Amino acid sequence: MTAPFSTLSDFRAQLQGLPRVDAAAEAAARDRNGQLTKPPGALGRLEDLAIWYAGWRGNARPALERPQVIVFAGNHGVTARGVSAFPAEVTVQMVANFRAGGAAINQLSKAFGAEMSVHELDLDRPTADFSVGPAMSEAEVVAALATGWAAVNPEADLLVVGEMGIGNTTAAAAIACALFGGQPGEWTGRGTGVDDHGLSIKTQVVAEGLAANPDRDPLEVLRCLGGREIAAMAGAIACAHARRIPVILDGFICSAAAATLALSAEGAIDHCVAGHASAEAAHRALLSKLGKQPLLELGLRLGEGSGAALAIGVLKGAIACHSGMATFAEAGVSDS
Ligand SMILES: Cc1cc2ncn([C@H]3O[C@H](COP(=O)(O)O)[C@@H](O)[C@H]3O)c2cc1C
Ligand SMILES: O=C(O)c1cccnc1
C-alpha cells in the first residue's frame, strides 16, 4: 500500500488524524474479563493486555492470528567516528543472513508464528554523519517513512518492527537526548559492546550532533539525528495505528523511533506496548518517558525486533485466555 504522504508536513498531518481506541469494544472486553472463571485480577497484566488489544481491534473477543515482523536495515555515516564495536559492512552482511534465515529474528518469528520480511534502505548510501549536520534531507527521511508505511501488511493483526544498522544505538541516543533533554552520557550505552574509550567517543559524538542540529521539532530530530531504518520503523508504527494494528515495541532503537511519533501527536503510540527492557543502559529511562512498562526483561541487547517477537508469545497467551475462557455462568462456577 503506498504511503499517503510525500512531504514531512503531510506525514505530520497524518499523525494528527490517527484514530483513537474503540472505547465500546474496550469496555465490552473489560466487562467480559470480569466474568471469566478466575479471581478478579488473577491474570495480572495479561488482563490489561487483552483489553488493550481488544480495544484496538474493535472486537471484545479478538483472535491474534497474523502477526507480522518487519526488519528495516540502514547504514549510518556516523560509524566513521568509531561508535560501534563492529564495522559498518555487518549491516549488509546481516541482511543476507536474514534472507537466508540464519538470524535470531528468523528463529523467533518462526517460533511465534509471525510472517517476517526484511527491507533494506539504500545500504550503499549511508546517511550523512550527524555530528556535523543533518543525517538526511527531507526527501530522504520522507522516502524512508514511506518505505516503512508501505511495508505493513493491512491484513496483519499485530506488528513488530525491528532494525539492523551498525551505529544506530548512537543515533537512538542522540534522538532520545534531543527529545527528552539531559546530558548525552545519560542516553549513550555500549550497543554491540564498545569499551570505555568507545563509549566516550559515542557520548562526544552525540554532544556534537545535538550542537550541529539545533531543531528540536520531533520529526526534524528524526531527520537530522535518525537513520533510514529508524524513520522506516516510525513510518510502519504510524501506518499500523492508521489500520488499528497493535504494535509491540522492541528495544532502544525502536523506542527512539516511536518517541518521535509520541512527541509529534497526542496518542500517536497508544496502540503500542513495550515488549521488553533491553540491556542498553538508557532503554528503561526512555520507556518511562514514553509511559510504557516493559513486558519482559531478559537482558537482551540485540535489536532486530527480537525482544518484541518474544513478547508475541505473552500477548498470544493473554488473548487465548481472554477469548477462550469460560465465564462463571457458562461453566457453572460460583462467583464470589
Ligand atoms: C552480528 C550482529 C547482529 C546484529 N543484530 C542486531 N544488531 C544490533 O547492533 C547494532 C547496534 O549497535 P551499535 O550501535 O553498537 O552498532 C544494530 O545493527 C542492532 O540492530 C546486531 C549487531 C551485530 C554485530
Ligand atoms: O536495545 C536494543 O534494541 C539494542 C541494544 C544494543 C544493540 N542493538 C540493539
Q: Compute the average pLDDT of residues 142-152.
A: 98
**251 CA distance to ligand 2 middle (Å):** 6
To the query of whether residue 304 is one of the catalytic residues in this protein, the response is yes
**151 CA distance to ligand 1 middle (Å):** 22
Q: Which of 108, 280, 287 to mutate to test the pocket of ligand 2 (most atoms within 8 A of CB)?
A: 280
**7 CA distance to ligand 1 middle (Å):** 30
Q: Which of 69, 70, 71, 86 to mutate to test the pocket of ligand 1 (most atoms within 8 A of CB)?
A: 86
Topology at the third CATH level for domain 66-317: Rossmann fold (3.40.50)
pLDDT at 102 over 80: yes
Q: Compute the average pLDDT of residues 227-249.
A: 99
* Residue ID of nearest Cα to ligand 1 atom 10: 166
Q: Compute the average pLDDT of residues 37-41.
A: 98
Pocket of ligand 1 from Cβ distances under 6 Å: 84-86, 90, 94, 163-170, 191-192, 302-304
**65 CA distance to ligand 2 middle (Å):** 27
User: How does 72-105 read in b/e, with b if 16+ C-beta sit within 10 Å?
Assistant: bbbbbbbbebebbebebebbbebbebbeeeebbb
Q: Compute the average pLDDT of residues 107-124.
A: 98
Dihedral pair phi/psi, residue 70, rounded to 5° = -120, 125
Residues whose CB is less than 8 angstroms from the CB of residue 38 and which lie 6 or more positions away in sequence, other chains included: 325
Contact between 302 and 248 under an 8 Å Cβ cutoff? The reply is: no
* Residue ID of nearest Cα to ligand 1 atom 7: 302
**266 CA distance to ligand 1 middle (Å):** 31
pLDDT at 1 over 90: no
* Residue ID of nearest Cα to ligand 2 atom 5: 301
- Report pTM: 0.99
pLDDT digits (tens, 9 = 90+) for 182-228: 999 999 999 999 999 999 999 999 999 999 999 999 999 999 999 99
| From 120, 208, 280, 304, active-site residue | 304
pLDDT at 178 over 90: yes
pLDDT at 31 over 90: yes
The average confidence (pLDDT) of the chain is 98
pLDDT at 308 over 80: yes
Least Cα distance to 4 among 20, 17, 21, 22 occurs for: 17
The per-residue pLDDT for 151 is: 98
User: pLDDT-derived band of residue 336, with 50, 70 and 90 as boundaries?
Assistant: confident
Pocket of ligand 2 from Cβ distances under 6 Å: 169, 191-192, 250-253, 278, 280, 283, 301-303
Task: Name the percent of the chain lying above pLDDT 70.
Answer: 100
Q: Compute the average pLDDT of residues 148-174.
A: 98
Q: Compute the average pLDDT of residues 236-241.
A: 99
Q: Which of 120, 130, 164, 255 to mutate to test the pocket of ligand 1 (most atoms within 8 A of CB)?
A: 164
pLDDT digits (tens, 9 = 90+) for 250-291: 999 999 999 999 999 999 999 999 999 999 999 999 999 999
